[in-house]
Amino acid sequence: MKKRLILQEITRTFEDGGIEITILDKLDLEVAEGELVAVMGPSGSGKSTFLSIAGALLEPTSGHVLLDGESITGKNKQELSDLRLKKIGFIFQSANLIPYLKVEEQLVLVSKLAGMEKAKATKRAKDLLDKMGLSHRRTAYPEKLSGGERQRVAIARALMNDPAVLFADEPTASLDASRGLDIVSMIAKQVKDQRKSAVMVTHDDRILPLCDRVLFLENGKLVEKKEAPQSTFHVV
Amino acid sequence: MYLAIREMRFAKARYTLIATIMVLVAFLVLFVTGLAQGLAYDNAASVKNMAATHFVLEQDSNHRFTRSQLDQNQVEKAGLIVGKENAESLGVKMTTVVPLGDTEKIDVTLLAVNLDGWLAPTVTEGSPISDQTKGHVLVDQKLSDSGVKIGSIIVDQASGTKWTVSGFVKNESFSHTPAVFLNKQDWLNLQAQTLTRQGTGSAADSKVYNAIAIKASKEKVKELQSALPNTEVIKKSEAVSAIPGYKEEQGSLLMMIVFLFVISAFVLAVFFYVITIQKTSQFGILKAIGTRTAYLARSVTLQVLVLSVGSLVLSVLLVQLFEAVLPSSMPFQLGFSTLALTCASFVTMSLAGSLFSVWKVAKIDALDAIGRTAA
């Protein structure tokens, strides 16, 4: 099976008061097509750093990130911007929509930035919103949407440019249990249907059953554990 | 483009408020500029209208016509160097006249020029006078507000000389007083009379002028300067700014205009800076999902441009409306080139004000988007 996201020996160190701190230590990860991987870990374990590096927002100290087989090392800022635009879909914690754009425009914006034709973009936006069950909300501003609806728009936007990889940063943090489940199952379904690789950073163990794999970030490495998620309280 | 326009559409109230401030400031800029121009012209119209490039004045006259004295000799010498037809003697005297049969005194400036030469003004009403006509003058249109008509007789208060108004000229003034043009004969008569009254000197050495108007190239001017001792040759603009009150008036108005420009730039700068800071996480998210910094910077710049150009258009209309209802005695002049220049500077200053926000946008890190709970 094709691996759309591959992280090889990612190391990231920070300098803090003259002491070098290793956040990620030769971290390896491969996510296959159609696979949704959950990454858990206590605060300070490096989840954000991990997501930033995998999402081409931050350069690793060493190691390689491959998106659809293409390395992101050595690219300049603009190339990285374009890469994020076309290869990566982001779903953030909450309120990650632009307040002054209507639902449909949120989607059209990203395709416009990627240079898609307007007619094509409008059609794709319409299809995606249909899939997310948001057709009736197309001309609403984010402030008029419920938290769940907002996250669904975010999912649609993340999928707009048909990326290789989806990254979700605690997508259920501001939702209640049933809506959270709803959103994650929607992400899982799209990942399966559209053959994406997806990584979700989360604290929420209720949604883990929907993921194909659950990994814990410990001592700068990702480890797979079968037992209950109490282990997230390890001190790193 | 996409973002900038939609944001302004969404936050109408916010952008309307700032646009209102901009309209008011732009209006004030244009209005004060028009007033400064109008006052400048009203003040120095006659000198500005003269086709001269330079003026010869007496040394140590501080560039002021009224302080300078030159004699016929020097006029002839100047004529020899730059060509007789390029040197015209000029008499300037500020005085007070009273129309005969009236008691209202009017401050005027007497300008003695060769009425067959290139310093002669264009007559708009009545008949022109020549160097031969005696006791006839051309007066500025403004005198008609004081009841002076063609054929009226005006009396010089200082000398008691009487002149008949032969015609009117338009936009001729010196130091905010209307101009009265007379020929050389009458000028010399006036000199003689004044001197006799004062009891000094004799009529013979009274062939005195205040300046020589010159049309010449830079090289000729240098030659002239060395050939005429005890004189200085000044540029027309120097002569204009030495008119009593001119520099002071223009200086304070210019200061107001400059301040308004700076204020408008700062108002915009602060507004966009605050908005930009408020939107930091939004910009972070936009950058994270792959928006280039250049696109966001263009977006901010475009908003500034839309605001400043839009408010300029409105204020130009307002100023024009104002100009239409202003009384004609109000000196207001806003020519196309001044208007264009003012508008261009306004837009430039606004864009300069937006630079700070653009810099701020450029500094925002896409990493801000990760691990944020609220935007």
Clarify whether residues B84 and B222 are in a common domain. Answer: yes
Clarify whether residues B252 and B219 are in a common domain. Answer: no
Establish if A197 belongs to a structural domain. Answer: yes
Clarify whether residues B21 and B162 are in a common domain. Answer: no
Clarify whether residues B35 and B95 are in a common domain. Answer: no
Clarify whether residues B68 and B211 are in a common domain. Answer: yes
Residue A83 sits at the chain B interface (C-beta within 8 Å): yes
Establish if B55 belongs to a structural domain. Answer: no
- Do A94 and B292 make contact, defined as CB atoms within 8 angstroms? no
For residue B358, what pLDDT is reported?
92
Residue A122 sits at the chain B interface (C-beta within 8 Å): no
Q: Please tell me the total count of domains within chain B.
A: 2
Domain holding A97: CATH number? 3.40.50.300
B264 near B258, Cβ under 8 Å?
no
Q: What is d(CA B211, CA A54) in angstroms, rounded to the nearest whole number?
A: 83
For residue A234, what pLDDT is reported?
46
* Domain residue limits at A151: 3-226
Q: What is the pLDDT along chain B (375 residues), one digit of tens a residue?
A: 789 999 999 999 999 999 999 999 999 999 999 999 999 988 888 999 999 999 999 998 888 998 898 888 888 888 888 888 899 999 999 999 999 888 889 999 999 999 888 998 999 998 888 888 889 999 999 898 888 999 999 999 888 889 999 999 988 999 889 999 999 889 988 888 776 666 555 545 557 899 999 998 888 888 888 888 889 999 999 999 988 889 898 999 899 989 988 888 888 889 889 988 888 888 988 999 999 999 999 999 999 999 999 999 999 999 999 989 988 778 888 889 999 999 999 999 889 888 989 999 999 888 877 765 443
Strand partners, B112: B91, B182
- Residue identified by tokens 């100009």 is B323
For residue B374, what pLDDT is reported?
42
Clarify whether residues B69 and B200 are in a common domain. Answer: yes
Q: What is d(CA B274, CA B281) in angstroms, rounded to the nearest whole number?
A: 13
Q: Which residues of B touch A144 (CB under 8 A)?
A: none
For residue A95, what pLDDT is reported?
59
Clarify whether residues B208 and B104 are in a common domain. Answer: yes
Residue A231: is its pLDDT beyond 50? no
- What's chain B's average pLDDT? 88
Establish if A207 belongs to a structural domain. Answer: yes
Clarify whether residues B311 and B179 are in a common domain. Answer: no
Chain B segment 259-288 residues within 8 A of A by beta carbon are: 282, 285-288
Establish if A234 belongs to a structural domain. Answer: no
Clarify whether residues B34 and B86 are in a common domain. Answer: no
DSSP string, chain A: --EEEEEEEEEEEEEETTEEEEEEEEEEEEEETTEEEEEE--TTSSHHHHHHHHTTSS--SEEEEEETTEE-TT--HHHHHHHHHHHEEEE-SS--S-TTS-HHHHHHHHHHHTT--HHHHHHHHHHHHHHTT-GGGTT--GGGS-HHHHHHHHHHHHHTT--SEEEEESTTTTS-HHHHHHHHHHHHHHHHHHT-EEEEE-S-GGGGGGSSEEEEEETTEEEE--S-GGGGG---
Clarify whether residues B182 and B123 are in a common domain. Answer: yes
For residue B244, what pLDDT is reported?
85
- Do A173 and B373 make contact, defined as CB atoms within 8 angstroms? yes
Clarify whether residues B137 and B252 are in a common domain. Answer: no
Instruction: Average the pLDDT over A21-28 and give the result.
Output: 91
**Closest chain A residue to the Cα of B287, Cα to Cα:** A81
How does residue A15 score in pLDDT terms, banded at 50, 70 and 90? confident
Establish if A26 belongs to a structural domain. Answer: yes
How does residue A236 score in pLDDT terms, banded at 50, 70 and 90? very low
Establish if B175 belongs to a structural domain. Answer: yes
Establish if A232 belongs to a structural domain. Answer: no
Q: What is the pTM of this model?
A: 0.78
Task: Work out the number of other CB atoms within 10 angstroms of the CB of residue A136.
Answer: 9
* Domain residue limits at B299: 2-44+247-369
Q: Which residues of B touch A58 (CB under 8 A)?
A: 367
Clarify whether residues B215 and B293 are in a common domain. Answer: no
Q: Please tell me the total count of domains within chain A.
A: 1
How does residue A36 score in pLDDT terms, banded at 50, 70 and 90? very high
